[in-house]
């Protein structure tokens, strides 16, 4: 089996953190003789600079061929004022859509070593372990018609469309149920069925599909209530499944409950387990190039790649364990630094994880 | 000047909490000789039971005539399985839209007496005082086309439309700026301009209008980041202005930061200061009829009515002060109860506030 990986470091801190994750993949490759073949290319602002567009056709062609993509992060002030159609984020949206990466898995896990980092009281977040399953290729992100038009009244109107087909809902909801089966068997589907027809259909499909997963306890929650409950009692959740925009909002909210988004990986999967793996955090242009960013979210994203695309649980576990051991040794990058710990650079953190492998 | 008030108690705990707010309005009426005329009618499930629809034409006609509406809350399990077109929430959406109540003001204030109630650490929420200005009559809540249709492929698709016209954006954004001028002069406009055209136009209009408010410090934030920042550092915000759906989510999230949503009022205003006033919390069917619900959010909503519709700042201040004094006396309903305080019923709490007036 071929094991081709495309590395898209992207912008801001992307190159630095990806470098550390690649170190880890190299060690795993040698250790287990996995035969990884890594290729590098540009995405986002870096691709605008290199190719004139945030995702070149040639890059997309390579992405289609490989088994997995490791992504850093995209965007930054340098490209804030360029033409809308070639903004860095468009590269990200395009690769998600073109590769059919509909299932976005975003864990929000509180590492016991970092318990103090949360703005929430310890008793509300100790042991927090939520998985958000976000639909990533549908809804208002890609819905047509969309645009800004001139009305007859002479004023402009911006408009977007939020569409969901039954099959689109079904496939992501099944991922939600399957993930719940592997965890604590609780699935909360989030929608706004009291207002939106797209959500009404969503809820109907969820209830239909639930029959195939009698072992999973299903609940429904309106999105406004979910945003409240994530603050009130976050540990009530196991797996949350939701549509693209709600997932964008709730997964960011949930990740911040941990206080250390520099620790949180993500996976975006297609129907066959092919995936793109990236940290949940952004490109942090303010600290780019300083060798101080936290590479652990990207390293943990590499672990997710091993787990979900290469089905190599052993090495995925090993990486996750190595990250835990590194934290146990009180090594901290600036973003997770606390009293009595040792502050390390991006590369020192990467090396420390490698040393544990 | 006529001072007509329509009281729509609604469902669940609505009648109990509204009774206490009406007590307060009666006292204020006598004290300042304001000439209030109160009428009562039904909305939501109560209206379904009485009229067969969640907002009767006759009720709407009365609502058009009066100066202000005091609302309890709508919805409950009794009406969960009725036909979608007459669900309780539809009454709420209809009255907002028909009366043109486009400006929804939702304060999230932490009362010092209730500082412990938050799930956030004290240092993150002590003194919290955010005002969310939510657009209430546009966007995906009311956008057409919408529905569930059969595609040629034989599967169904649910779809909604999110439209915003320049004039709709302008009027709500002006409210945001004006509120900021009365407060700490910081306005954060929340959108998703990196994905949605409706948000791009939103941001453009905000930047245009900002020129009229040079004394207000304006920032823009993507909605996912706003959900994160509300967890990370909520006190960075003064006034947030945003579209309908984002406002629904973020205002609920923000209100829960205080830990006591039983304390939070809201106002929904039209262009002329006419308004509907209601607590930010829901109908809490599980505790309805038990005389244990917290009436303070509704009482504080009556204070907002005096402030925004009747421009009677003195009595609004008086009510707010009375609520503070009542808390100082350690009187607490069950939802805000804590060790060493005295647990009181809904009516006892209302009476205690009246006693302070
Ligand atoms: C950059 C942006 C388009 C993107 C999104 O909204 O999906 C980001 O916020 C994310 O969550 O990955
Ligand atoms: C009941 C529901 C339709 C309503 C809304 O979404 O606006 C509620 O959540 C609110 O915020 O007032």
Q: Give the CATH number of the domain where residue A93 resides.
A: 3.40.718.10
A57/A246 Cα distance (integer angstroms) = 30
**B215 and B100 share one domain:** no
Of the candidates A249, A138, A157, A190, which has an alpha carbon nearest to the alpha carbon of residue B247?
Answer: A249
Q: Is residue A329 part of a domain?
A: yes
Q: What is the DSSP letter of A35?
A: -
**A32 and A48 share one domain:** yes
**B270 and B356 share one domain:** yes
Cβ–Cβ contact A212 with B under 8 A: no
Residue A83, pLDDT score? 93
> pLDDT digits over B322-332, tens only?
999 999 999 99
Q: Is residue A114 part of a domain?
A: no
Output the tens digit of pLDDT for each of chain A's 357 residues.
679 999 999 999 999 999 999 999 999 999 999 999 999 999 999 999 999 999 999 999 999 999 999 999 999 999 988 998 999 999 999 999 999 999 999 999 999 999 899 999 999 999 999 999 999 999 999 999 999 999 999 999 999 999 999 999 999 999 999 999 999 999 999 999 999 999 999 999 999 999 999 999 999 999 999 999 999 999 999 999 999 999 999 999 999 999 999 999 999 999 999 999 999 999 999 999 999 999 999 999 999 999 999 999 999 999 999 999 999 999 999 999 999 999 999 999 999 999 999
Q: What is the mean pLDDT of the segment spanning B282-293?
A: 96
Q: Is residue B114 part of a domain?
A: no
**B99 and B216 share one domain:** no
Angle at B37 between CA B33 and CA B43, to 5 degrees: 140
**A18 and A94 share one domain:** yes
* A197/B166 touch (CB, cutoff 8 Å), yes or no: no
**A3 and A85 share one domain:** yes
**B233 and B313 share one domain:** no
Residue A1, pLDDT score? 62
Angle at A277 between CA A274 and CA A278, to 5 degrees: 160
* B157/A141 touch (CB, cutoff 8 Å), yes or no: no
**A275 and A311 share one domain:** yes
Angstroms from A59 CA to nearest CA on chain B = 22
> pLDDT digits over B70-81, tens only?
999 999 999 988
Contact A25, A39 (CB under 8 A): no
**B146 and B247 share one domain:** yes
**B273 and B253 share one domain:** no
* B201/A148 touch (CB, cutoff 8 Å), yes or no: yes
Angstroms from A233 CA to nearest CA on chain B = 8
Q: At what angle do helices A296-308 and A14-32 cross, to 10 degrees?
A: 40
Spell out the alpha helix ranges (H) of B99-243: 122-125, 166-182, 197-210, 223-232
Domain count, chain A: 2
Of the candidates A228, A247, A245, which has an alpha carbon nearest to the alpha carbon of residue A236?
Answer: A228
Q: Domain ends where: A232, A257, A282?
A: A257
Contacts of A211 (CB under 8 A, 6+ apart): none
The percentage of residues in chain B with a pLDDT greater than 70, rounded to a whole number, is 100
Cβ–Cβ contact A256 with B under 8 A: yes
Contact A288, A16 (CB under 8 A): yes
Closest chain A CA to residue B195: A141
**A226 and A324 share one domain:** no
pLDDT-based confidence at residue B2 (cuts at 50, 70, 90): confident
Question: Which residues in chain B are closer than 8 Å to A261, comparing Cβ atoms?
Answer: 228
Length of chain B: 357
Angle at B84 between CA B79 and CA B86, to 5 degrees: 65
Of the candidates B239, B257, B216, B294, which has an alpha carbon nearest to the alpha carbon of residue B128?
Answer: B257
Residue A80, pLDDT score? 87
Angstroms from B36 CA to nearest CA on chain A = 34
pTM for this entry: 0.97
**B253 and B293 share one domain:** no
- Domain containing residue A177: 129-257
Q: Pocket residues for ligand 1 (CB within 6 Å)?
A: A 89, 92-93, 248; B 194-195, 224
Partner residue facing B164 (CB), from A84, A157, A246: A157
User: Distance from CA of residue A222 to its chain's centroid?
Assistant: 22
Helix (H) or strand (E) holding A91: helix A88-98
Q: Is residue A112 part of a domain?
A: no
Q: Is residue B115 part of a domain?
A: no
pLDDT-based confidence at residue B348 (cuts at 50, 70, 90): very high
Closest chain A CA to residue B140: A196
Q: Is residue B19 part of a domain?
A: yes
Q: Domain ends where: A205, A222, A257?
A: A257
* A148/B120 touch (CB, cutoff 8 Å), yes or no: no
A62/A43 Cα distance (integer angstroms) = 12
């Amino acid at each position: 089996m071929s094991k081709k990986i495309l590395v898209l470091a992207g912008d801001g801190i992307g190159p630095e953190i990806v470098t550390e994750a690649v170190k880890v993949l190299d060690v795993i490759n040698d250790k287990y003789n996995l035969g990884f073949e890594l290729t590098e290319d540009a995405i986002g602002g870096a691709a605008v600079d290199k190719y004139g567009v945030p995702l070149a056709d040639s890059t997309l062609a390579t992405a289609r061929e490989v088994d997995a993509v490791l992504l850093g992060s995209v965007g930054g002030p340098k490209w804030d004022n360029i033409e809308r159609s070639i903004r860095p984020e468009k590269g990200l949206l395009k690769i998600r859509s073109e590769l059919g990466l509909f299932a976005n898995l975003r864990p929000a896990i509180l590492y016991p070593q970092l318990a103090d980092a949360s703005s929430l009281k310890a008793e509300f977040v100790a042991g927090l372990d939520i998985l958000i399953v976000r639909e990533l290729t549908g809804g208002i992100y890609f819905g047509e018609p969309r645009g800004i038009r001139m009305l007859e009244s002479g004023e402009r109107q911006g408009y977007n469309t939020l569409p969901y087909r039954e099959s689109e809902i079904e496939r992501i909801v099944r991922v939600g149920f399957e993930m719940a089966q592997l965890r604590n068997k609780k699935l909360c589907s989030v929608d706004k069925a009291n207002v939106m027809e797209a959500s009404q259909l969503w809820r109907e499909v969820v209830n239909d599909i639930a029959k195939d997963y009698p072992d999973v306890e299903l609940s429904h929650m309106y999105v406004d209530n979910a945003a409240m409950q994530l603050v009130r009692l976050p540990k009530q959740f196991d797996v949350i499944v939701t549509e693209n925009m709600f997932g964008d909002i709730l997964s960011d909210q949930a990740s911040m409950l941990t206080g250390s988004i520099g620790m949180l990986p993500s996976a975006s999967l297609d129907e066959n387990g092919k995936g793109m793996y990236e940290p949940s955090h952004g490109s942090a242009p303010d600290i780019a190039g300083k060798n101080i960013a936290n590479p652990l979210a990207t390293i943990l994203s590499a672990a997710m790649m091993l787990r979900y695309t290469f089905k190599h649980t052993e090495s995925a576990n090993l990486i996750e364990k190595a990250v835990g051991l590194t934290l146990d040794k009180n090594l901290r990058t600036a973003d997770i630094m606390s009293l009595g710990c040792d502050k390390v650079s991006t590369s020192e953190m990467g090396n420390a994880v490698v040393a544990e492998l």
